[in-house]
Amino acid sequence: MAETGRLTRTAPSAPLLSPVTLLRVAIILGVLAGWELLSRSGWLYRDVVPSWLAIGKALADLLSSGEYYFNLGVTAAEIGAALAIGGISGMAVGILLGANRFLAKAFEPYLYYLGPTPKIIFFPIMIMWFGVGPGSKIALGTLSCFFPVALSAAAGMRQIDKVLIKVGKSFRANTWQTVWKIYLPAMRHPIINGVRLGLGVALIGTLLAETKLSNKGVGFLIIQAYSVFDMPRMYAMLIVLFVLAIGANALVGRLGGLHTIRR
Amino acid sequence: MSAPGRRFAIYDALPAAVGIATVIAFFAALEGLIQGGVVNRFIVPPPSEIIGSFGRVFVEEHIVSRFFFTLGECLMAGVMITVFGVAGGFLLYRYKLLQQATETWVAALAAAPVVLAYPLFMVIFGRSAWTIIMIGFVAALPPVILKTLEGLSGTRKVLVNVGKSFNLTGSQQFWKIMFPAALPTMFVGVRLGLIFALINIVGVEFLINYGGLGQLINDLAERYDLAGTYAAICFVILVSVVFFMSLEKAERWLRPVD
């Protein structure tokens, strides 16, 4: 059999550096250069804008210090506890409100309007109730986390396809099985979204509480660096904290498969 | 009113009444528990004492002037986020390359806990209202930029084509077509930004013990004026709720049909 020729076309190779990447690199370099110029200009008070070299050195010192990891562990444990307590209670309340229209009409407006109020103002109450230790930080984180999770869970519950619930009923699923096998899988995306929001606000609430009154945790280290005017160390801690916060947020979204949602 | 109409009104009013009754019952039970000595009154003051201290907090703590101080900070941050946020969103819309390069960064900034950098702002701006305003501004800027971009990008093609058929100039196209079409979405961004700004402004006032309502709570807590602290917290919650409701009403007025 005569062999037919095969049409081949090499796939166009993507340029090594696309214009977008080039622009990003240019912006980053511009910011770094501007910062360094500002640092050396003397326009601001000395050390308010430390050089990148000083920040880099502080960053290296920070990441090689055992004390930092201990404090990071304390903060992570507080945030984890806050997320667990606030997340589970928020989900339970959200499922209850989402499942019952009467209860939702009676109580959801309170959640809706209390949700965005500044939670840090409750810190004096938390100190009186739970003391000055980690308990008050966990409580503030829990309070911050509860509202977004509850509201997302309630909204997610209302979006569940009624057919799924009817299927569950036709299989005579009990309440626990209905929650576990139908409600929770069907509400995965709103719940993950709520947990993402909850994680963000729990992190802010816990760390702000640590900056206000604490003797351990990353918030305590930041305010300690401020009080001794160790600016490079403070910048280094803020950089690490921002990277961790944004990374944790993205990770929760990815684990929950939010990137797979078709918009 | 017809019978079905009456049934509707009752059905709508009953849950709200149950909600209010539950809240009242909760506070009545708390009052009983505190008066009965079950709950320590030095940790949770009786609700009657909190209500009684409202007048004192209003008069002695100059709550009205503090309210206007916080409101002024919010308005200043609000003007700044509107001006810079809308301009930033327009820039990203106008220059696609810039949008592709930086949109994810702006979204990441929205997720970043900017308020934690308040010691840094204190070093730069001092312990002043500017520290508070600037934190409110930086924390609230990303949603305004992103929503402006969304609003401008979402302008219906047919409207843009109508503008082109009338031979409108670039500036006319923007002010007569793009801007009015994007305004409702932009306002959503401004509303979100104002909420973020208020949360951060009151929070930082509390943390650095400077300014209006946030400082009042800190002051009262440091004096161990329990009833006053609880009353001030209730007042801040009330102000926040009224603020959110007004913004929501303004948004509904601007976007009558979704």
Q: What is the pLDDT of residues A176-188, one digit of tens each?
A: 888 888 888 888 8
| B246's tokens | 């007004």
pLDDT value of position A263: 43
Query: What fold is seen in the domain B59-254?
Result: MetI-like fold (1.10.3720)
Are B77 and B140 in contact by the 8 Å Cβ rule? The answer is yes
Residues 152-211 of B with CB under 8 A from A: 195, 198-200, 202-203, 206-207
Q: In which element (H, E) is residue A33 found?
A: helix A19-41
**Closest CA in chain B for residue A103:** B15
Domain ranges for chain B: 3-44, 59-254
What pLDDT is stored for residue A87 in this prediction?
A: 93
Asked if the A60-257 domain carries CATH number 1.10.3720.10, the reply is yes
Give the closest residue to B220 by CA, choosing from B233, B211, B208.
B233
Work out the number of other CB atoms within 10 angstroms of the CB of residue A209: 29
Contact state of A116 with B19 under an 8 Å Cβ cutoff: no
- pLDDT band at residue A78 under the 50/70/90 scheme: very high
pLDDT surpasses 50 at A1: no
Cβ <8 Å between A124 and B218: yes
Please state the ipTM of this predicted complex. Answer: 0.83
- Per-residue confidence at A262, pLDDT binned at 50, 70, 90? very low
pLDDT band at A190 (very low <50, low <70, confident <90, very high): confident
Instruction: pLDDT band for A15, please (50, 70, 90 cuts).
Output: low
Angle between the A218-227 and A188-212 helix axes, to the nearest 10 degrees?
40
How high is the pLDDT of residue B10?
64
Report d(CA B148, CA B90) in Å as an integer: 7
H or E segment to which residue A168 belongs: helix A162-170
Residues of B in contact with A233 (CB under 8 A): none
Q: What are the residue ranges in chain B where pLDDT is below 70?
A: 1-11, 255-258
Model pLDDT, residue B230: 93
A residues 80-109 closer than 8 Å to B (CB): 102-107, 109
Please, which pLDDT band fits residue A85 given cuts at 50, 70 and 90? very high
Phi first, then psi: what are they for A50, rounded to 5°?
-70, 160
pTM score over 0.95: no
Which pLDDT belongs to residue B29? 95
CA-based nearest residue to B198, from B25, B75, B86, B116: B75
Mean residue pLDDT of chain A comes to 86
Question: Position B232: which residue type?
Answer: A
Structure tokens at A174: 């009990």
Give the whole-angstrom CA distance, residue A47 versus residue A229: 8
**What is the pLDDT averaged over residues A199-211?**
90
pLDDT at A64 over 90: yes
Cβ neighbors of B254 (< 8 A, separation 6 or more) are B183, B184, B187
**3-state percent breakdown (helix, strand, coil) of chain A, nearest 5:** 80, 0, 20
At residue A57 the predicted structure's pLDDT band, cuts being 50, 70 and 90, is: very high
Sign of the dihedral defined by the CA atoms of residues B106, B109, B111, B115, in that order: negative
Q: Is the pLDDT assigned to residue A52 strictly greater than 80? A: yes
Q: Tell me which amino acid residue A182 is.
A: I
Q: Does B214 touch chain A (CB under 8 A)?
A: yes
Stretch 90-129 of chain B: residues touching chain A, C-beta under 8 Å: 97-98, 100-102, 108, 111-113, 115-120, 122-124
pLDDT for A41 equals: 82
- Return the pLDDT at B81: 94
- Dihedral of alpha carbons A213, A218, A224, A226, sign: negative
